[in-house]
Amino acid sequence: MRIAMIGQKGMPATQGGVERHVHDLAIELVKAGHTVMVYGRSWYTNKIGTIMIDGVHIKHLPSIKTKHFDTFTHTFFATLHAITKRFDTIHYHGVGPALLAWLPRIFCPKTKVVITFHSIDRYHQKWGWLAKYILRLGEKAAVLFSHETITVSRSLQTYCINEFNAETRYIPNGTTSTQSISDPQILTKFGLKPNQYLLMVSRLIPHKGAHILIDAFVELKKQSSDEHVRSLKLVIVGGSAYTNDYVHDLHKQAFPCNDIIFTDFQSGTALSTLYANTQALVHPSLNEGLPITVLEAMNHGKPVLLSNIPEHLELVDNPEVIFKQNDTADLTSVLLWFINLSEEERRKLSEENTLTIKQKYQWSTIVPEIIAVYSSFDSKNKKPLSAVTI
């Protein structure tokens, strides 16, 4: 099959969960014998024209790089280009890009349109009321304009049933088993030592909860005089996503504590090194689809400490690693509990996470499910676009 991916910022993935998802999925599809084109934004990769990575074609097209128009304009240009190429499947990623999925339904009706519903973006605090309204329309478009809609978590699947009376196909995000890469120079660069820091990996936007973790970490330092706690550091990997004011506030909040380190976005060997040498990943998010950063930490065989949102509860069964969302005191309590665990107890948490990844979140089992979605298209049995209303 010939498959186009639209909605992501580009490839290779250097930041963003959707970008990581598309990067890995595209490569796995090529390994399975399919031809894949990923549409990218030149500002994201610093590339122009068409390049190839691991057999995947990456087509760079322009966009208006602003908070509100970047995704829409790039999706529009990518959709127009994809229509001319007559792909077997056009796969949109995200509810924002879904708003334009009606174009291939009209102009290339033999092409299957698939949309992955990655998260409820309108819950993200960086958006104003108008953007949230448009993203709400995008949610409805995701279940109405597509021939088939994929949801990456059970909670999103339930959301689509409750909100739109729409059945979707649950297929989670995946990860690839790989040996952790560790470069000691990366740790030296950031003033770190193995197994002496906690890690958060995320775009720095309010609903990801970095401010909650900073407060909890500072409180942890106040509550414990243990030498191990005193030497412990917190590493926050990620940067602004049109949220410069929030990032500035985080740095001000963390300034009194010398043990909080901001690395900005990291990828490749640097990111793998930070995963491989941390005690645990902490993810205090208030809203997710199915967080790839948590999957990657689990894939590295690391414990994860997670807020009690439904998507996190799908990933772990151990209630002791869960803390109340938006609750600094409860997060501090869980951090204290974790730090006081024995090495054997921590190893057990790691082994549970590794087993979960192997059983549920391997691309080797997920990709065949996605290929089955692509292959099931029968235009005679699909609802005509004229039946779609918003």
Q: Are both 138 and 229 inside the same structural domain?
A: no
Q: Cα separation of 368 and 365, whole Å? A: 6
Q: Sign of the CA dihedral 109, 111, 112, 113?
A: negative
Mean pLDDT by 10 residues, the chain (390 residues): 95 88 96 96 86 94 87 95 95 95 94 93 74 89 94 94 93 82 90 96 94 96 84 94 92 94 93 95 93 94 96 94 96 95 95 94 94 77 46
Helices (H), the chain: 17-31, 42-45, 70-85, 102-107, 129-144, 154-164, 184-189, 210-223, 227-231, 244-254, 268-276, 292-299, 310-313, 328-339, 343-360, 363-375
pTM: 0.89
The answer for 184, left when phi > 0, alpha when psi is -120 to 50, beta otherwise, is alpha
> Which residues contact residue 41 at a Cβ distance below 8 angstroms, ignoring those fewer than 6 apart?
9, 10, 60, 61, 62, 63, 65, 70, 74
Residues 27 and 169 in one domain: yes
Helix (H) or strand (E) holding 40: strand 35-41
Residue 179 lies in a domain: no
**Pair (197, 261) in one structural domain:** yes
One domain for residues 329 and 220: yes
Does residue 98 sit in the same domain as residue 164?
A: yes
3-state SS, residue 299:
helix
Q: In terms of domains, do 322 and 341 share one?
A: yes
Q: Kindly state whether residue 6 falls inside one of the protein's structural domains.
A: yes
Domain boundaries, position 65 = 2-174+363-387
The per-residue pLDDT for 179 is: 67
Residues 327 and 217 occupy one common structural domain: yes
290 lies in a domain?
A: yes
User: Is position 17 within any domain?
Assistant: yes
Distance, C-alpha 132 to centroid of its chain: 19
Q: Is the sign of the CA dihedral 112, 116, 120, 125 positive or negative? A: negative
- Do residue 143 and residue 279 come from a single domain? no
| 3-state secondary structure (DSSP) of residue 337 | helix
| The pLDDT value given to residue 385 | 52
Structure tokens belonging to residue 25? 């999925």
Q: Are residues 202 and 299 in the same domain?
A: yes
Q: Is 107 helix (H, G, I), strand (E, B) or coil?
A: helix
Relative orientation angle of helices 129-144 and 154-164, to the nearest 10 degrees: 90
What's the domain count of the chain?
Answer: 2
What per-residue confidence (pLDDT) applies to 380? 44
| Whether residue 284 sits in one domain with residue 253 | yes
Beta strand 169-170 with 148-151: parallel, antiparallel or unpaired? parallel
Specify if 259 maps to a domain: yes
How high is the pLDDT of residue 379? 47
92, part of any domain: yes
Q: Is residue 295 in some structural domain?
A: yes
What CATH number did the domain enclosing 260 receive? 3.40.50.2000
Q: Which position has the token pair 């500002």?
A: 43
In the chain the first and final C-alpha atoms are separated, in Å, by: 31
With respect to residue 196, please indicate whether it lies within any of the assigned structural domains: yes
The answer to whether residues 81 and 205 belong to one domain is no
**Which two structure tokens, joined as six digits, stand for 211?**
């401010």
Cα atoms found within 13 Å of the Cα of residue 329, Cβ hemisphere only: 0
Complete DSSP assignment for 308-331: S-HHHHTT---GGGEE-TT-HHHH
pLDDT of residue 384: 52
One domain, residues 14 and 154: yes
